[in-house]
Amino acid sequence: MKRILPTICVSTFITLPLQLTYAHDLAPAMRHFKEQFTQDLSHWTIEQQPNGKTGIQEGQLVINDDAGATVWFHERLHSPLRIRFQVQVASSGRISDINMFWMARDPSTPENLFHDSHTRNGRFNSYRGLETYYASIGGNDNQTTRFRRYDGLGNRPLRPEHDLRIETGWIQPDTPILIELTAVHGKVQVFRDGALIFEFDDSEFLASGWFGIRTVNSHLKVDFVEIVSVAFPASGKANYPR
């Protein structure tokens, strides 16, 4: 494995030196998207239960939720892929549930996650039919951290090695956490603050799909999202590096 030492400067928040391990080098012709939540949510689709509220406040994506919310990046992504985002859980709410889907697709319409007949509404069970990778940091009131691969048929098997528990809790309130997700050449990985917590070799690798940030009954604040992928559609929604 090759170690890479990138450094990110995120607006006026913080400079983060990171040590990451990838299964393979990322492709040289990657395209890049970075969202710092300074304008609007035109790149995103919100699915949220009543009584929750999601928007931009003071340069952050703020998800103040009651019964479930998922915020999707509009564009379909393709492997090899790296996603990273910085997030904190506010002490004003329940300390729980930094969750994410990536390479998600609806088997009934694999080319369009947002087709008119979909029934996703923010409630967790409405996502059972997806085919996707899913990770949860600090779920179940900050007791569990888990990884699952949804098979598109309603099954979400949980392997023992993908069900982690620590007594001190996975989330410290009001403290930024850097989450990284990869999908590269048949392997997916999840990092928390630079430490690898899950690695999964998938014989039926999901090579493309959508990315979403999710929570339930918590107050999340996302500082930035950065995505490096093979290609985005030339829709004008993503800012490509020159």
Positive or negative CA dihedral for 59, 48, 81, 190?
positive
Cα 215 to chain center, whole Å?
Answer: 11
pLDDT at residue number 59: 96
pLDDT digits over 232-241, tens only? 555 534 333 3
Return d(Cα 198, Cα 179) in angstroms, integer: 12
pLDDT at residue number 239: 39
Q: What is the assigned CATH class of domain 43-223?
A: mainly beta
Contacts 24+ apart (CB under 8 A), 138-143: 138/89, 138/95, 138/96, 138/97, 138/98, 138/169, 138/170, 138/171, 139/96, 139/97, 139/99, 140/96, 141/94, 141/95, 141/96, 142/95, 142/96, 142/169, 142/170, 142/171, 143/169
**DSSP symbol at 242:** -
Residues of the chain above pLDDT 90, percent: 79
Return d(Cα 235, Cα 111) in angstroms, integer: 16
What confidence category does residue 14 fall into, taking pLDDT thresholds of 50, 70 and 90? Answer: very low
The residue ranges of every structural domain in the chain are 43-223
Write down how long the chain is.
242
pLDDT at residue number 234: 54
pLDDT digits over 114-137, tens only? 999 999 999 999 999 999 999 999
pTM of the predicted model, to two decimals? Answer: 0.84
